[in-house]
Structure 1
Amino acid sequence: MIKGITGRNIRFLLAGSFLLAAHSLSAQQGSAFHNGFARMEESGKSWYIDSTGKKAFDQIVALYHPAAATAADEEALPEAQETMLLVSSAGKTGIIAGNGKWLLPPAYDTIELKWKTYLVLRQQGKMTYADTDGKLLLPLQFEDAGILDDTHFDVKTGGKWGIYSTAENRLLIPAMYESFDYCGGCGRKGDYLFAQKNGKWGIIDFNNNVLMPFEYEHAHAFMRSDNWVQCFKKQGHEVTINLKTKKEYTAPEYTDMTITGNSLLKAQKNGKYGLINEDGVTIADFIYDDITDAYGETERGPYLQVTKNGKTGILREDGKVMIAPVYEGDITGSGDYFIIRVDGNYNLTDTTGKKLLAKDYTEITFMDKRFSAPLVKLKQKALYGFYNPVNRKVVEPAFFDIDRTTVTAPGIELLEVSYQEMYGLYDAAGEQVLPVAYKKLDDLVPGLVAVKKETGTGVYDIRKKKMLIPAVYNSISVSSADSSLFLASQSTPEGSYKELFFNHNGVKMPAPKVPIVPEKKSRLLEKETANGGYPLYGYANSTGKVIVPPIYDRLLVEKNGRGFLAQTGGKFTVLNEAGQPVSKQLFDDIALEEVPRYGSAEVLYSFPLLCRTGDTYQYLTATGSFLPVKVTGIVAFSAYSLDGIPEL
């Protein structure tokens, strides 16, 4: 019978299928060792010992998984395979790594995990941060602290806040403010801070120079790190500030203010829109009905769409009009090209507004941005073609669809075209590579594609634009025995199949010879006994060397190479990795960290190993000695219920 206690994320099982159940006694009991520690319990109290038998800590409080990324990364993913334990000792908390080593000694009043990235440590009214590997990020000397970036912390001392630099190991800004705010998550790091003094907010730099006076209300919204400030109000009214010019933009003169493009302030004045750049210079007069982005959600560029008198055009971010507002409807941009609407149809222009297509089309869309050229998909009624503005080649609409393809060729960008369930290939330059005459195309190796017709499957050379292997075979694939060959299947007159092999030049080749390499791996040895009795077991390593002779009724191998558990006549022997007994003593029972699967020849355990002989329990070390610890029974490693150890 298998008995055990399972916890969430960490599992400890007390006995294997060949082990006896633990006795339930009131005297001191112990668990199997896990990562260098074992739990002891007596009279309702429990504590943990280390591998020398000395008390290590009182209890496990919680667990967490360390972050796999630093604070500077956008997302810190936890390492689910590694577990850290939060433990307590004499009312203080510390952290132990998965290898049993102390990350932080049990010296802290509390430890908590914040944002899955930092540890918050508190001790006697002071606090600090550490990374999830236990490295302190600033001195333990402040009443409170916040994280601005990797090297700057806002810290509280004497009831006031200042800025501490870990790079310079000092207070950059003295603790003289009521609060700080900072745009740590902005696309670029700001060189200024929002600070509160006498109940009002202003802006300072990291040298404590005042950039804007303390006369504003502030909320953590619309945060930025450039010259535009939109998170302030003045006497309850919204205000936008340019830090370079110190100018305030507010109603009633300026309304509907948003930041667009590359740090441009779009604002409405006298009912019309204009643009002001990050330096505070008006680069587009307030003459437009609207100003919007000319690109889709996945692309940004230096151009904006402007609307004037109901017509649309294109404005560059420096204020220069590139395309006069003379077109109906929206203009869609990609790179330096724009789709415009002309009399209900569409055309394409460059940044000068010059039309690039000789005629208009029913629909025009930009194709996959992964092409080196900005390809444009053309539609005329129900058919599609495409245009390459780099070489100005037009492939007129003649296909049901055009898209990227899984077929590859060195130095050639390919598109797959289809018409009436037949497929072909074009290159991005607009040249036909493979006629639209095949039912299916499958990539074999770069430059060679399997093509299927009514007559069968063949191989086409894209670079040479010719058939290498005629389309008469049932199937063609890369040979699993030799990747330099193709395997073709062909029907025989007798109704069966035969296999043919071709090289990449289309030449028939003999079938590849598959060498038989004997597999070398560690294995259990099994020896038959006389009169049909049960076999005996041993173990040989990957070179065939016998480590444990086949003399045992049962043999279990420790997963991490620590040794073996061997059974003979109902007694157990603990063997080291060389197959030698760790101790001459035989045991009736052994406590395991993890129960082996039914029929498995592998177990998981670590030294010291809790072994029983009669009513005597002892912790056996890897050197064959016993720990000076009295144990009268077995308990689980974790004192928690079946729900397991809490996770931070």
Structure 2
Amino acid sequence: MKKLVLLLVVFAVFSVNAQELALANKDGKFGYITKTGEWHIQPKFKRAYSFSVDYAIAFEGKKVGFINRKGEWVIKPTFDKVKSFDSGIAVVLKSKRWFYINTKGEEVLTDVITDKIYDFKNGVAFIKQNDLIGLIDATGKVVVTPKFLKIKKFVNGYAKIKENEKWGLINTKGKYFVKPIYDAISNVYGGSITAKIGETHGVIIAGEFKAMEGTQKIWDFSRNEKITYAKKNDKVGFIDSKGNWIVEPAYDKVRSFKNGLAPVCKAKKWGYINKAGKVIIPLQFRDAELFSTDGLAPVKSAKLWGFIDKSGKEVIAQKYVITTGGLSLFKKNTEKGFINGLARVKYKKTWGFINTKGELLNDTWFINLEDFK
């Protein structure tokens, strides 16, 4: 019986910690709501940001600290500026000095030698010495000696690096994934990479560059699809990860495939095609976004957005603003439309969440609102 009670307590604590919360502004104060639309943390902060894992940045007066998912101060607001936690480390500014702290608010990694303090991402942080960039891990150990002219942020475990005026890719251990021999290179999505040598665009297959002659531009591959779009003769189509055209370049603009369909534009009208290039929803909209896993996509015929299903039927009227933006300090998720059954929308001058039936969550509008984290 005692074991059962203990398990229930542990589960309850885990549920609170794991619960996604959305930052909301009500009457000029910030708090956090649950997916029922109820307040989980009452609106009491003058300024705050969305949660990053278990911590959120919040202000008290002009000072800033960190709260947990119960709304409790875990690191008191004594700093002038802070960055989000990653791998248990955050970068903070106090008395005109930047330094690292742990989740207890204690200064750490004091032996790190760097001309500039960078925040951690994916378990590593940049260090800078004599205008060259390297990497340290969360213990302060140097994993890449400063030798690169530039290192871009890590995406899916890899970062673009510049060495001797050429670009390549490294992993978080500092090992070359693609040697720096290219004039431009993309991030890695699903193992797919695009690159450029001189004015020639192409894809990298098993470490080898495959040129796509005549191609003017290739965009990064999608996170979930081994398909991207490319431009040739001033028109855009789609290629696979091997550099084969799967939809010939015939459109003025396109967006990525998601859930089997991609928005495409010709003569300023948007519609949707499948991966065979067949038009599934006729080109008729002023703008169109990707289909979500909920089977709905944002479209607009004039200034405001509504939602259609995969047959092209309008299921939610065009009366909302859905433009990404708002309160987040670090905007990672720029997806528009429905995410896990809810869409963040603006109606007139207030924000709320609607479900796939167009019903307003908890019948409540807010001054501003962020996605669930």
Q: Which has the larger radius of gyration?
A: 1
Q: TM-score, normalised by structure 1?
A: 0.30
- Name the structure where helix makes up a greater proportion of residues: 2
